[in-house]
Structure 1
Amino acid sequence: MKNKVVITAALTGALANRNQCPYIPYTPEEIGLEAKLAVEAGASIVHIHARQDNGLPAYDVETYTRIHEEVRKHCPDVIINYSTGAIGIPNEERIHQIDALKPETAALNMGSMNYAIYSKEKKQFYHDFVFANPFKDIQFFMERMKAAGTRPEMECFDNGHINNSLPIIDMGIMEKPYIYSLVMGVLGGIAPTTQNLVHQVNTLPPDSVWQVIGIGRKQWALAAAALTLGGNFRVGLEDNFYLPEGEMAKSNGELVDAAVRLARMVGKEPASIEETRQILNIPRIS
């Protein structure tokens, strides 16, 4: 499947809000409809954070269950990927939606870091916190995902986070291929450049499959680089609001449609849901 590319849609995120982009979905019903638009446009995976109806982050199983039902109603076959990332939330609450719903995949942050947004205009930081993910927590989440039959998608915000995965691989907790997301452009993490992406890809262990997650408008340049390097990529309103031409997207479907057009420009085709299951060794479990 050398000419196939896996396109993931990150539908909503946890920090972005409607003051920044009025099209971000909050409710389970809205997230389900956005999943439908993304899948119809060519996404085979949807990455989801839960939100309260007012847009604040939600971590309870009940909200995740409502989201799960809405997504499955509109997209019965799509591969679901839930977030386990959080700050100041007990580990049991970060993982209980995986225990309860057993999604095919789940995101797992592979290291600790400073995490912030900086305004050059106002010369000040926003969302300034330490994102703590020590090895004992990484191992805890890995083992719980394995028990649920959920494939871990290892999110690496810097090159050292890739190295953090090596002891986990040595423990034999994960199955091949090892699924990596190279997250670029978060302040506190690696800068979003093609040179850095090439270096990270060269650092990955054998038997790896990877995607790039570009934060902000540089997402499209990184996606183009990923296509030439044989990788996959993620788009969606969690990461970037804007289409390649600079216009704000009105849905996740518009962003996925642009991703498909970009892939086809270099001779690639979006992998179908079934092809993605084969590429990533993801069984149908929910």
Structure 2
Amino acid sequence: MNKNVILSCAVTGAGDTTSKNPNVPVTPKEIADSSIKAAKAGATIAHVHVRDPETGMLSHDVEIFRELVERIREADTDVIINITAGGGGDWVPSDADPTKGGEGTDMQTPEQRHEPVGMLLPEICTLDCGSVNFGNQVYVSPTDWLRKQAKLIQESGVKPELECFDTGHVRFANQLVEEGLIDGDPMFQFCLGIPWGADADAETLAYMKSRVADNASWAAFGIGRMQMPMVAESVLQGGNVRVGLEDNIYLKKGTLATNEQLVDKAIGIVHSLGSEIMTPHDAREFLKLRKHDGKAD
């Protein structure tokens, strides 16, 4: 049981959710505003992607990242910023020639994935710890690429959140720790219920958390209808939680959500279990995060 819970809000993601829920933020201002609303509702961390303001689809534009991060940092409301470093890793084989990427393929090198992190130095960034079948495409992160990306993150002083979509990802994340590519106490995020990664259930979560070191912190989330059940299960098993429109667009069946509503609902679950939500200040101390000026907190 975790009595002091870090709550992350994944505010927008990269999927085609904007056509399904108009509350999914698209522009840098909208994403920043939604991050601040989530923080005011009680979120500890805002996990952010960026989108093309014209199309609403995934973008890797570092200037859009810059505008977003600056807007959050300039706000009166405090929240820890967690930038995605997953970048372009989507591979869809071409029907005409399966040796080439077809429509929907979007690939970036480790250096390109790291660029917004290295430029903006958020307090946390993600590091997806392996390749996985992601629906009908493959998310590609070869191990040598991940070692290179982990080294870039390490040199920047940003805290990596080790994203694990399957059990083998936990194994490789531990290997990165063993090789000295992860500084300090490791921070894991178990990403559950995505087709076709690890299931969003108590047994899978119990196994994954059993494979991390005692000094590691961890969180878990489920997608879709499993978002709130995994909030409760994560707290009960001793972990932290994540909600947000990246992972689930409904407040309840048939009712579209906002990020702040999902945060408020998750906090209600956490409080009903007798636990509290960490403030950004307390989470910075717990996770030993650097400040924006590059100095340790």
| TM-score, normalized by the shorter chain, greater than 0.5 | yes
Q: Bigger shift: 181-190 or 273-282?
A: 273-282
Does residue 5 in structure 1 map to residue 17 in structure 2?
Answer: no
Output one character per residue of 1:162-217: Cα deviation in whole Å (capped at 9) or x when no partner.
00012211122222321000000111201111111111111212211000021111
Residue segments in structure 2 that go unaligned for 5+ positions in a row: 90-106
Cα deviation for residue 77 of structure 1 reads 3.3
Q: Counterparts in 2 of 1:32-71, with a 5 A limit?
A: 32-53=32-53, 54-71=55-72
Cα deviation for residue 74 of structure 1 reads 2.4
Q: Bigger shift: 95-104 or 165-174?
A: 165-174
Residue segments in structure 1 that go unaligned for 5+ positions in a row: 117-127
**Counterpart position of 1:237:** 245
Q: Counterparts in 2 of 1:185-264, with a 5 A limit?
A: 185-243=193-251, 245-246=252-253, 248-264=255-271
Cα deviation for residue 268 of structure 1 reads 0.7
**Counterpart position of 2:134:** 115
Contact 1:17 1:24 in 2 (8 A): yes
Q: How far apart in 2 are the matches of 1:225 and 1:181? A: 14
Cα deviation for residue 285 of structure 1 reads 2.4
**Counterpart position of 1:22:** 22
Describe the SS at the equivalent of 2:228: helix
Output one character per residue of 1:30-56: Cα deviation in whole Å (capped at 9) or x when no partner.
011101110001111100011110211
Q: How far apart in 1 are the matches of 2:174 and 2:236? A: 26
Contact 2:2 2:235 in 1 (8 A): no
Describe the SS at the equivalent of 2:168: helix
Q: How far apart in 1 are the matches of 2:177 and 2:6? A: 23
Q: How far apart in 2 are the matches of 1:9 and 1:16? A: 18
Q: TM-score with structure 1 length normalisation?
A: 0.92
- What is the root-mean-square deviation of aligned Cα atoms in Å? 1.6
Output one character per residue of 1:51-80: Cα deviation in whole Å (capped at 9) or x when no partner.
110211111211110111121222563211
**Counterpart position of 1:129:** 137
Alpha-carbon distance change, 206 to 161 in structure 1, aligned in 2, over 3 angstroms: same
Q: How far apart in 2 are the matches of 1:76 and 1:171? A: 38
Describe the SS at the equivalent of 1:51: coil
Q: Bigger shift: 191-200 or 34-43?
A: 191-200
Q: How far apart in 2 are the matches of 1:285 and 1:149? A: 11
Does residue 100 in structure 1 map to residue 100 in structure 2?
Answer: no
The one-letter amino acid paired with 2:271 is R
Q: TM-score with structure 2 length normalisation?
A: 0.88
Contact 1:17 1:55 in 2 (8 A): no
Does residue 270 in structure 1 map to residue 277 in structure 2?
Answer: yes
Cα deviation for residue 231 of structure 1 reads 0.4
**Counterpart position of 1:73:** 74
The one-letter amino acid paired with 1:265 is S
